[in-house]
Structure 1
Amino acid sequence: MLTAQACAAGRAARQGCVARFLDPLRVVANLALPPRCPGCGAVTGEDHRFCSACWGKLRFLGPPWCAACNAPFAYDRGPGALCAPCHRQPPRHAGVRAAVAYGDVARTVALRLKYGGRTAFAETVARQMARLMPEGAELLVPVPLHRWRIWSRGFNQAALIARALTRASGVANDPMLLQRVRSTPPLRGMGARGRAKTVSGAFHIPAHARERVRGKSVVLVDDIHTSGATSDACTRSLLQAGAASVAILCWARVLDPAADD
């Protein structure tokens, strides 16, 4: 009978043989299909890496920022400092954390993921988002798509990002918890009041699923944060279902409130 040490040594040897067999194949694959920049398609050294030009065009976000909504500040205003909108009306969510500001490169990556079928870009953006994972996060919930949109697109990009974030952080994700029960038109061109009205009542958590969110610190995952109408409607549903708090984590944030997504 083989000992545990012998079995382990045998497995290691087999894995080493497989690795040596695959290494030449990886070299050939990289020559035929080299890693490319998600922003412009230039050849890069590794997958999910941006070229120096695109990397330089990305504006990475982080502190100092508003203590309530995480809008970036030009300088540190001290602990607990709030931006003007949050002074007037504090948000119901626990902050919007975005890896980068919305711009040409960030928009290109998001569009290629959402409409170009580049599903591997979910891993690309999740790697940048993971550094901003809120402390104490217990559950990742992607912003859902209506079933008609999923049928036409084939996937929900927010769910793919949430899955990649789980691999990076170990925080569980639940893509079936929050449901989009009503199809809504694109919000582009609508004012704040029109956006809020359009998505009102569009999201729902079934009664049988509420135990999965009750008392938890939830992170709502999305690709782009624009006016906040969609995330606000999702946050309302999660809090009504019993979530202790809801923070928002996304790839890119539109910093100009007048801009459309």
Structure 2
Amino acid sequence: MLKARIQTAVSLIYPPRCLACGDWVDSDFGLCGPCWRDTPFISGTCCDGCGVALIGEEDGFRLECDDCMEHPRPWQQGRAALSYDGTARRLILALKHGDRTEIARPAARWLARAATTLLADNPLVAPVPLHWSRFLRRRYNQSDLLAKVIAQDADLDYCPDLLRRTRRTPSLEGQSRHQRYTTLTQAIAAHPKHAERISGRIVLLVDDVMTSGATLSACSEACLDAGATAVRVAVLARVTHS
């Protein structure tokens, strides 16, 4: 009761604003009507591999986009909340590089709704890791912020350092698919101290953006090598290939 009163008092002093444009909104950490309409949420039929939107209707069989059919994924199933474009891209860049960590909680809940089917069977939730040097520079891992909210809200086991970067890799931006996969070869591994937690479990990996899938593939293979029975991936946004 006291907590609710404090929250009400805070909302009167600091009314909630739209995450994208700063206008007043009815609820904390949400989007105003125009920004919500301009944000490319993925709904309806989507690829079972990466979550990208597909044309047509579900027919009861596994559906995959051309990219996932051409490049089979090591993970079992994937979902995305947004297409990486417009307002979604601006929000993610603000979260990732602009210290806008307040975006993580509502964004994680958008992702949890998109990834509802991935939360079944009590998966172990873990973020895609940052190398320690990059973490020190950024001071937080945006994937970890998303994963923590998803695990807490769904009452799932959560391990922020389930995986680790074994070496520092250059930015993948601008690299080809082949270069991305080559760059990440043996660059990610399961943390030795968590080997028992992975063995025999389904792992749900959480990341902010999927482009080629190279990073998620490296993480998935690390989990499977450590004894995971299956890996699922949930990404806030999927880059759409034209």
TM-score by length of 2: 0.90
Equivalent residue letter for 2:64? L
Equivalent residue letter for 1:73? L
1:207 aligns with 2:212: no
Deviations 1:77-115 (A, max 9, x none): 522343334444432111221111111111111122122
Q: 2:183 & 2:34 partners in 1: Cα distance?
A: 39
Specify the alignment match of 1:8 in structure 2.
none
Number of equivalenced pairs? 238
* SS across alignment from 2:101: coil
Match 1:143 to one of 106, 123, 128: 128
1:120 aligns with 2:102: yes
Q: Structure 2: which 5+ runs fail to align?
A: none
Equivalent residue letter for 1:242? G
Q: Which runs of 4+ in 1 moved over 4 A?
A: none
Aligned residues: percent identity?
Answer: 34
Equivalent residue letter for 1:168? D
Specify the alignment match of 1:107 in structure 2.
89
Q: Using CA pairs below 8 Å that are at least 6 residues apart, which structure has the higher relative contact order?
A: 2
Q: Structure 1: which 5+ runs fail to align?
A: 1-15
Q: 1:20 & 1:37 partners in 2: Cα distance?
A: 21
Cα 1:89/1:115, change in 2 over 3 Å: closer
Specify the alignment match of 1:97 in structure 2.
79
8 Å CA contact 1:137–1:219 kept in 2: the answer is no
Larger Rg: 1
* Offset of residue 75 of structure 1: 0.7
TM-score by length of 1: 0.84
1:82 aligns with 2:82: no
Deviations 1:102-159 (A, max 9, x none): 1111111112212221212110111101111312241111001111111111111111
* Offset of residue 54 of structure 1: 1.1
Equivalent residue letter for 1:33? Y
Specify the alignment match of 2:40 in structure 1.
59
1:48 aligns with 2:29: yes
Q: 1:254 & 1:19 partners in 2: Cα distance?
A: 40
CA RMSD after TM alignment: 2.0
Equivalent residue letter for 1:92? P
Specify the alignment match of 1:233 in structure 2.
218
Q: 1:237 & 1:20 partners in 2: Cα distance?
A: 43
Q: 2:84 & 2:218 partners in 1: Cα distance?
A: 21
Q: 1:228 & 1:140 partners in 2: Cα distance?
A: 18
Q: 1:69 & 1:83 partners in 2: Cα distance?
A: 8
Equivalent residue letter for 1:148? S
1:35 aligns with 2:19: no
* Offset of residue 31 of structure 1: 4.6
Q: 1:85 & 1:19 partners in 2: Cα distance?
A: 48
* SS across alignment from 1:179: strand
